[in-house]
Amino acid sequence: MSEELPIVIPPEAPPLDPNIRLNELKRMLENPNTDQRQLPNIRAVIAALEAGEKPAEIYQFGVGITVRELKVTEPSWYEGPATRFFNATTYGPQSGGMIRLQVKLPGGGGLAILPIQVLDDTGSTHLTLYPSDVQLLGYTQTMLNLVSPISLTSSQGLVGPFPFVWVDCRLLDQDSAQPIGPWFLETAIVSPMIPGVPRLSGSKLPLNSSPYGFDKKTVQKKSSKVTASYICCP
């Protein structure tokens, strides 16, 4: 029954204006409580943004570096993965972190199957859905009221309680055309859409070996196209 549902493209959170991040960083420079050792790194990020460039993911001693160059005993500034929770789409699509899924109401029924993009976060316990997502899926307010809200801190930094739902998910390939593997049940919270903040993955996302039959090595043997899409989206 679910396979007969229409595919509906849901709205995505709009990109965050880089000027917002610039203003945040400039306020940090003016804040006397900011760690003085981080000032060169903050200035380096500001310089990159003002030049219209994408900042490096890691800064140390005011210079953009790679993970291998990182001196763990010295202060460092993470402008990449560590800030994706707050401004993941500020500088354009992220590579190596965004994954495409299909979601639908569990057990058949519902109104539509939604292809969505989520930020793969191994520390996230619940998939993030927007209010527009659950409405398109077919959840009604009556259905939402049947389950007690859950209290946690969302990717947007918001503190719950949030509406709590179950959805069926499955991975999509890079072009969002071919599903990879079976549907699996995932828990989700319903959180407001905020510019620059992506949906987060849930704890059931089988990126490695899992009860749902996803094994990274097995998938990689199938085709390079599927491997690239399975791990991340462009």
Q: What is the pLDDT along the chain (234 residues), one digit of tens a residue?
A: 445 899 999 988 776 678 888 888 899 899 888 888 989 999 999 999 999 888 887 889 999 988 788 887 888 887 754 444 433 333 333 333 678 889 999 987 899 999 998 877 667 788 999 999 999 999 998 888 888 888 876 655 566 788 999 999 988 876 656 888 888 999 999 988 877 677 888 888 755 324 334 443 333 333 222 222 222 222
Q: Using an 8 Å Cβ cutoff, are 197 and 88 in contact? A: yes
All structural domains of the chain, each given as residue ranges with its CATH number in brackets, are: 2-15+94-231 (2.40.70), 18-87 (no CATH)
Does this model's pTM top 0.85? no
- Measure the CA–CA gap between 121 and 199, rounded to whole angstroms: 10
Q: Which of 225, 117, 136 has the alpha carbon at shortest distance from 180?
A: 225
Q: Which of 25, 13, 158 has the alpha carbon at shortest distance from 88?
A: 13
- Residue that is written with structure tokens 């390939």 in the block: 173
What are the backbone dihedrals phi and psi of residue 54, each rounded to the nearest 5 degrees, phi first? Answer: -80, 125
